[in-house]
Amino acid sequence: MHVGLISYTPDPEGVIAAAARISVSNVSALDLKEKQTPERVAGLLKYLLSAGHLSPFEHASFTFAIDGISRVTSHQLVRHRLASYTQQSQRYVSFKKLDFVTPNTIAAKPDWLAKYNEAVQNAHRLYCEMLDAGIPAEDARYILPNAAETRLVMTMNARELMNAAGLRLCLRAQWEIIQLFDYVKREVEKVAPLIAEQLQAKCYRLGYCDERESCGLFPTRQ
């Protein structure tokens, strides 16, 4: 898996702070942004988060190139609706070579790993035979496994990043999407450390676990 930041709102934290201050100012956000200090920005972001005033966080967006995740994980990822996605097509791209993800629980057991690899290779062989027989890739792909790797570009604003990370960095989420959001967080850290700090499992914000059973990090509400 590889995650890289392609593009982002310049000075994302400054933009959020200036946008927030416009609601109580009588001057342009241009002036507000020019005059604000890093300390003021940090203080304001902290206040917005504690008060739950999250809409200014929608003004900062991040665009990621995500390569080498399984179709299992891309399906989970695109459930986050307040984002934009463009995914490699299995209709227009044919996969003469199939890259696929192997979960550690399977990789750790040689007998099961052999069966897993064989099943994936059999499916892929049939896929290639169908392509050779003139069956279009859009139909032959029905046989490809969920393990097949995919690539996509995702654009999310900071508010949705915090929401999605809150859900997907929870230890109850699946390992591959946890790993994906770990990489997303690392990329955001490089350009917006205050926002990156907020990319964490939701229990850190709540102070308790709202799942039925806690992983032990925080107690449940009961």
| Binding stretches for ligand FAD (CB under 6 A) | 79-82, 160, 163-164, 167-168, 172-173
Q: How far is the CB of 144 from ligand FAD (least distance, A)?
A: 22
**Exposure letters 193-216 (e unless 16+ CB within 10 A, then b):** ebbbebbbbbbeeeeebeeeebee
Comparison of 6 and 215: residue with beta carbon closer to ligand FAD: 215
221's enclosing H/E stretch is: none
Residue type, 204: Y
Q: How far is the CB of 105 from ligand FAD (least distance, A)?
A: 17
Cβ atoms of 144 and 124 within 8 Å: the answer is yes
Comparison of 168 and 185: residue with beta carbon closer to ligand FAD: 168
> Which position among 21, 168, 172, 221 bears the catalytic label?
168
Q: Is 168 annotated in the active site?
A: yes
Q: How far is the CB of 172 from ligand FAD (least distance, A)?
A: 5
Measure the CA–CA gap between 182 and 167, rounded to whole angstroms.
12
Residue of minimal Cβ distance to ligand FAD: 81
Q: How far is the CB of 174 from ligand FAD (least distance, A)?
A: 7
Comparison of 164 and 184: residue with beta carbon closer to ligand FAD: 164
**Exposure letters 138-177 (e unless 16+ CB within 10 A, then b):** eebbeebbebbbbebbbbbbbbbbbbbbbbbbbeeeeebb
Hey, what are 21's tokens? Answer: 């201050």
Residue type, 88: Q
Measure the CA–CA gap between 1 and 63, rounded to whole angstroms.
16
Comparison of 93 and 206: residue with beta carbon closer to ligand FAD: 206
Positions marked active-site: 168
